[in-house]
Amino acid sequence: MESLDKTKENGYNILMNIYAISDLHLSNTADKPMDIFGGNWEGHFEKIKSDWLEKVAPDDIVLISGDISWAMKLSDALVDLQTLADLPGKKVFIRGNHDYWWNGITKLRDSAPNESFYFLQTDAIKLDNFVIAGSRGWTCPGSADYTEQDEKLYRREAERFRLALNDAEKLREEGDALIVMTHFPPFGMKQESTLFTALFEERKVDKAVFGHIHGAAYCPLKSERGGVEYILASCDKVGFKLVKIY
């Protein structure tokens, strides 16, 4: 297991390690075998779990950027979430487009398997010297088959990010790093500027973590624009291993 990283990075005091992964697509109660998407998905959660146990210490943080469970209702999703309960670290979640079970944030938080679970929905939390804000995001202009309805949802999600970052500003103190979690990529296919990226730059976000991209679809694993580092953490894109953020 890696030792706790008690150093300074980019001017911030880093007191623990922070990792990210996305699109776990757990299916303990749903008939959704992921290996139909390719042999690399066979036993995918065991690969993730093995890497997690090797890397993560109890005080570390793991960011999980949506598409957590194939379940359709919360009671079934809790079976999937329970598989993460005994893994070390604090787990921070946002909703993905396939997380249909995620309805009613208060009920979800009250149902969390243990105190190591944190669910973000248009708000933010502060864990030690990290402030983490999150919302689901949406398809951005320039994406394939972008529709009028997509435009409406894109603008709605931009406002939700604004609210989440307003919440983050209330929590952030000098020396705190600001991380945004989103499920959808916060830019279009050509990584052009969007309402999301403009807002992240305006609010001086340090890093933005996202998922949703799979298979042969191209998106850089890491990129930088306007002082913000963007990190793709879809589990198949990163070899079913946690990505170290700090």
Task: Identify the DSSP state of 164.
Answer: H
User: Looking at the DSSP assignment, which residues form a beta bridge with residue 177?
Assistant: 130
Q: Which residue has the higher pLDDT, 205 or 217?
A: 205
Instruction: Indicate whether this model's pTM tops 0.95.
Output: no
Could you give the percent of the chain with pLDDT greater than 90? Answer: 77
> 195's torsion region: left (phi>0), alpha (psi -120 to 50) or beta?
alpha
Whether pLDDT at 213 is above 50? yes
Q: Whole-angstrom Cα distance, residue 127 to residue 62?
A: 11
What pLDDT score does 38 carry?
A: 66
Quick one: average pLDDT of 229-246? Answer: 95
Q: pLDDT tens-digit profile of 11-56?
A: 555 678 999 999 999 987 766 666 546 667 788 899 999 999 999 9
Q: pLDDT tens-digit profile of 118-166?
A: 999 999 999 999 999 999 999 999 888 899 999 999 999 999 999 999 9
Phi, psi of 86 (to 5 degrees): -90, 0
Per-position b or e across 146-185, b if 16+ CB within 10 A of its CB: eeeeeeeebeebbebbbebbebbeebbeeebbbbbbbbbb
Strands 207-210 and 177-181, bridge-based pairing: parallel
Given pLDDT bands bounded at 50, 70 and 90, which one contains residue 91?
A: very high
Q: Which two tokens stand for residue 28?
A: 């303990």
What pLDDT score does 1 carry?
A: 42
Given pLDDT bands bounded at 50, 70 and 90, which one contains residue 89?
A: very high
Q: Whole-angstrom Cα distance, residue 76 to residue 38?
A: 25
What pLDDT score does 2 carry?
A: 42
Look at residues 94, 3, 19, 17 and name the one whose alpha carbon lies nearest to residue 62: 19
